A and B are shown apart, each in its own frame.
Chain A
Amino acid sequence: MRAASPLRLIRKYLSIIATILLFVLAFVAASLKYKGFGTLQVFFNMLIDNSFIIISAVGVTFVIISGNIDLSMGAMIAFTSMLAAALTENLHVNPLLTIAIVIAVGALIGTALGAIITFFKVPPFIATLAGMFMARGLCFLISIEAISINDPFFRAVSLYRIHLFGKAFISINVVIMLVVVLAAIYLAHFTRFGRTVYAIGGNEQSAMLMGLPVNRTKVLVYTLNGICSAVAGITYAFYMLSGYGLNANGFELDIISSVVIGGTPLSGGSGYLVGTVFGVLIQGIIQNVIAFNGTLNSWWTRIIVGLLTLMFIVMQRAFSAIKRKGSTSTFEMKSE
């Protein structure tokens, strides 16, 4: 038997290595070009400004690994943050109870979508598109106007700074994000649920024949995604201190492209959460570069993200070709 060769490990983690490398290179390049870019606080700001995106992207990573898709995240973030605002401001519900209710609602909507997809065999693209319209509609059912949040608890959380390494600081949202990412890594790699998600993405029919709980797991993936959307919505409410039906527009596409840039192929079956985090952060760098530059139109973010996404999809194709090539030239020996 051969030991795991370093080359093989590199091949296994090729796409995630590429993502992290791209992030580091882009950060270094931007630091060299723009004075004041290469500081800890700029990096922390990227985490602060993107924590809700990362939280939602974590949920979507599970969906994509299982070979499915979700388009409702942007609308769900808008709706859940709106719901949080309405509960605390209009109905004066206790803020902690508000958070619990919002998460429960997110879980419920996710479960419903998952059940529709799994048991009625509605293509996920269509079911979640409907979910997206519904969530946007619900926003305006709550209120046509923006609701600003004045609840003291929400304000306190929003403004709290956690100082790290001297002057640099992060927000509570960043802590929440880190907890979500760690919990997700545990779920993905150390539980039966996570294994089953990868198995379904590899081959759903086989997973069923292997006796795995395919239907239950598919529904649970959407439940988890609904919870992530709701947590993202709450952190978004902390970040914005308001709720509005037109907020978080187009987030779903930013999120999906982050997951892809993070090395999870849209065909499912593989991918890592750490990759997703860096996928989001790469977009964060682009936003920051545009801000530092000052003359570039912010639409450049979209253009560059679009190009990067395409590049990564092409790269993943190439990688899987390499992997296949690597396997045909190795023939196994039988012990006598």
Chain B
Amino acid sequence: MKNIFKEVVGGFYTLTVGMGITLREFFRKPVTVHYPRESLKMPERYRSHLIFTSNDDGSSKCIACNLCVKACPTDCIIVDGEKKEGEKKKSVTKYDLDFTRCSLCGACVEVCPTDAIVFSKRYNLAATDRQQFHIIDLCRDLEERNKKKAQ
């Protein structure tokens, strides 16, 4: 009898302790960020899909050496390039990334001899059509960015 009494009172006390903690938390500032209205800054090393870096004149640094293609574990890069007349190195004409298969491992970025590719910080990636992620055209992306900059 005494034990039951002790258990009921002791048990009830533990519940009030819990209630006290939640009550105190209730008055703390919220820890969440209200996303569409405010958003966090992505850290320097954040990994989203690849983008090109560019030379000062806005062209890509990529020399179409295919090292990144070979390093990629999931074969999600297709690179094509051509040798323009009067230039020593090849220049890139096509760089397609299949983002549905990319595991964001970083092998391609590490292996690139000219630092032509980096991870972007675009995290708002959403589309109603899966096709949009099958081919992310890095060359076109660079052009668009250049155009925007020029404006």
Our verdict on whether A and B bind, yes or no, reads: no
Spell out B's residues near A (CB within 8 Å). Answer: none
